[in-house]
């Protein structure tokens, strides 16, 4: 018996069979307009940029969010949990196909500072594997659950750690209006806005939030676009103060 902990397998052979059958029988999904790549050329050193980031998904409301983001031609960054990627692989695939960025948020939302080196390695590896299985890409950034990190743990993370500066507290109050209000009060050039797509109230806030940000002159970008031009290193923590043009 090996003591090496295996990656938990949530999908039974039956579930896979059903998924395959469903995949064969399903009508082609309505084609979602991919987010225009125009933002890729954005220079956030001269343009007022902000990044919408969604943690803890994918979940049951994420496809609706993707519809809304697609309609508003707005790219976002999703910090996904490996265990939820295994539940919603199609949603993950959609995120990638529609031009959004994928980051790791660990496999099952563990506080990294409570884990052993081996535990951290598993959380990172299992999540990257789940993302790759679902969408054929691997994450290049990680957001530590609870924002909990420290130098000793960070050096075990093979990606840059991406934090945030605008906390909408959406998970606490579940009020779309309040989510928009907090975000608009706290946002500034280069902001990283924290939201959670596992809550319906957060998804409901997004159309209004995007249109208010655009009215205020913000260009919404992915985390990679936001940090273009900044040296972005594995095992280091980043927020808007880390951007070279904000120093």
Active site residues: 55, 196
Integer Cα distance of 185 and 221 in angstroms: 19
Task: Mention every residue, 6+ apart, whose C-beta is less than 8 A from residue 135.
Answer: 89, 92, 93, 95, 96, 97, 102
Is residue 246 within 8 Å of 240, Cβ to Cβ? Answer: yes
Ranked by CB distance to Zn ion, the top (closest) residue is 55
Under the binding rule (CB under 5 A), the answer on residue 154 touching Zn ion is no
From the list 83-91, 145-153, 165-173, 205-213, the region that binds Zn ion by CB under 5 A is 145-153
Least distance to Zn ion, CB of residue 187, Å: 20
Least distance to Zn ion, CB of residue 245, Å: 28
Under the binding rule (CB under 5 A), the answer on residue 56 touching Zn ion is yes
From the list 2-10, 121-129, 142-150, 232-240, the region that binds Zn ion by CB under 5 A is 142-150
Start-to-end CA distance of the chain, whole Å, equals: 53
Least distance to Zn ion, CB of residue 124, Å: 15
Q: State which residue, 199 or 219, has the beta carbon closest to Zn ion.
A: 199
Integer Cα distance of 174 and 203 in angstroms: 10
Least distance to Zn ion, CB of residue 171, Å: 8
Integer Cα distance of 81 and 105 in angstroms: 5
Query: Count of residues binding Zn ion (CB under 5 A)?
Result: 3
Instruction: Give which of 32, 51, 42 is closest to 98, Cα–Cα.
Output: 32
Under the binding rule (CB under 5 A), the answer on residue 123 touching Zn ion is no
Q: State which residue, 79 or 227, has the beta carbon closest to Zn ion.
A: 79
Least distance to Zn ion, CB of residue 143, Å: 7
From the list 5-13, 96-104, 139-147, 179-187, the region that binds Zn ion by CB under 5 A is 139-147
Q: Which long-range contacts (CB under 8 A, 24 or more apart) does 143-147 make?
A: 143/53, 143/55, 143/79, 143/103, 143/104, 143/105, 144/106, 144/111, 144/112, 145/105, 145/106, 145/109, 145/110, 145/111, 145/112, 146/111
Q: State which residue, 56 or 154, has the beta carbon closest to Zn ion.
A: 56
Q: State which residue, 55 or 63, has the beta carbon closest to Zn ion.
A: 55
Under the binding rule (CB under 5 A), the answer on residue 55 touching Zn ion is yes
From the list 20-28, 47-55, 89-97, 198-206, the region that binds Zn ion by CB under 5 A is 47-55
Task: Mention every residue, 6+ apart, whose C-beta is less than 8 A from residue 212.
Answer: 180, 184
Q: State which residue, 44 or 128, has the beta carbon closest to Zn ion.
A: 128
Integer Cα distance of 143 and 158 in angstroms: 12
**Residues binding Zn ion (CB under 5 A):** 55-56, 145
């Amino acid at each position: 018996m090996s003591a090496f902990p295996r990656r938990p397998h949530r999908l039974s052979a039956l579930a896979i069979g059903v998924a395959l059958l469903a995949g064969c029988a399903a009508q082609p999904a309505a084609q979602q307009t991919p987010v225009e790549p125009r933002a890729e050329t954005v220079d956030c050193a001269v343009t007022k940029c902000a990044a919408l980031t969604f943690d803890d998904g994918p979940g049951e409301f994420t496809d609706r969010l993707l519809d809304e983001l697609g309609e508003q031609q707005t790219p976002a960054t999703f910090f996904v949990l490996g265990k939820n990627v295994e539940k919603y692989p199609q949603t993950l695939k959609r995120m990638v196909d529609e031009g959004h960025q994928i980051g790791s948020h660990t496999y099952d939302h563990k506080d990294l500072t409570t884990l052993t080196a081996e535990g951290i390695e598993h959380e990172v590896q299992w999540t990257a594997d789940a993302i790759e299985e679902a969408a054929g890409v691997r994450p290049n950034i990680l957001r530590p659950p609870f924002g909990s990190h420290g130098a000793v743990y960070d050096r075990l993370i093979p990606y840059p750690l991406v934090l945030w500066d605008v906390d909408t507290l959406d998970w606490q109050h579940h009020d779309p209006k309040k989510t928009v209000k907090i975000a608009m009060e706290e946002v500034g050039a280069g902001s990283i806005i924290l939201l959670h797509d596992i809550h319906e109230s957060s998804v409901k806030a997004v159309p209004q939030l995007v249109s208010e940000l655009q009215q205020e002159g913000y260009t919404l970008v992915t985390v990679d676009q936001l940090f273009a031009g900044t040296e972005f290193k594995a095992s280091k923590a980043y927020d808007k103060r880390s951007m070279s043009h904000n120093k």
